[in-house]
Amino acid sequence: MKMDSEAVEIDGSVMEGGGQILRVSAALSCIIGSSIKITKIRAGRSTPGLRPQHLTGLQLVSDLCSGSLQGASIGSTDISLTPGKTRAGNYTADTQTAGSVCLLLQVALPCALYADAASQLCLKGGTNAEMAPQIDYTIKVFKPIVEKFGVHFDCDIRMRGFYPKGGGEVMVTVNPVKELTPVTMTERGNITKIYGRAYVAGVLPFKLAKDMSAAAVRTIRKEIKELYINIQPQQEKEKACGNGNGILIIAESSTGCIFAGSALGKKGVYADKVGIEAAEMLLKNIRHNGCVDEFLQDQAKFTITKCEDELSRNITYIIECQGSGAVNPNL
């Protein structure tokens, strides 16, 4: 496959200059069939260039679209991708680190939606990693919202993986779409339910889960007194690689909006501090009175831009875009 002379050139150092530019650019290349060249990848970071999780994501996209990926290796600051036909199949991507499986899904899901049949993705790495969505957030918050657009995928957690070992594994089945359905979300409504889970895995004591849960409930109670708050402490049983603890708290509204706050335990940080961090994040996302939280706003905008009609969010957190109306040519 020959590199297109009309390849779109993308400066990978713009804005925060992180991995999101890579993920969005690679997925768009796959969907619209346009060659890309990305330069200055993570130029402003302490360790510039591709890290293992970025490389794994690019290789996964290249496999999905039968593409040609050039210049991709650990530390590379310039890569080129020429896409081919997006094909359904069974794909495996392994960061071999604690790199996030959720970020692998972020880059692979849009591509698999435009395949010719259902695809199976086996994603390996960290399921609950820093600086990335927790797998619980992906399943409990991201998934039900993108399903409103006609996206359908199933996610089975085979093994949780934590820093520094990784070793987690999820199996994702993605069903293709002909085109996505536009959605309007402009009214938040009232918060009707708050629930979540605080977990420990490996050799960590169950008391940590109970302390995270109790601290989170106390923090939320100071501001929201009228609702029952159900945050269940849980012990992960024989489904974890390494040791880890964390918490995810979800709030649902009367109009179907979903918000979350989450946090991961760290060495030397008391469990109650972890619970408080997640609770304060949730309260912040409720206070702005928008229809999505700050993280879903970032993750779902790729889905929004593939819809046919114009969607807007004229609220505190503003998303306004004209959808491209992408149609799956393989169905």
Q: How far apart are CA 105 and CA 173, in angstroms?
A: 11
295 is in an annotated binding site: yes
User: Do 293 and 79 form a contact (C-beta atoms < 8 A)?
Assistant: no
Residue at token pair 């925060």:
16
298 is in an annotated binding site: yes
Q: How far apart are CA 240 and CA 52, in angstroms?
A: 21
322 is in an annotated binding site: no
Phi, psi (rounded to 5 degrees) for 227? -105, 150
Q: How far apart are CA 137 and CA 249, in angstroms?
A: 9
- Nearest residue to 44 (alpha-carbon basis) of 64, 15, 21, 67: 15
296 is in an annotated binding site: yes
The encoded tokens of residue 318 equal 């503003």
> How many other C-beta atoms can be found within 10 angstroms of the C-beta atom of residue 324?
14
4 is in an annotated binding site: no
- Nearest residue to 324 (alpha-carbon basis) of 314, 6, 83, 310: 310
User: Do 83 and 114 form a contact (C-beta atoms < 8 A)?
Assistant: no
Q: What is the CA radius of gyration of the chain?
A: 20
Q: How far apart are CA 285 and CA 171, in angstroms?
A: 30
Annotated binding site for ATP: 106, 295-299
Annotated binding site: 106, 295-299
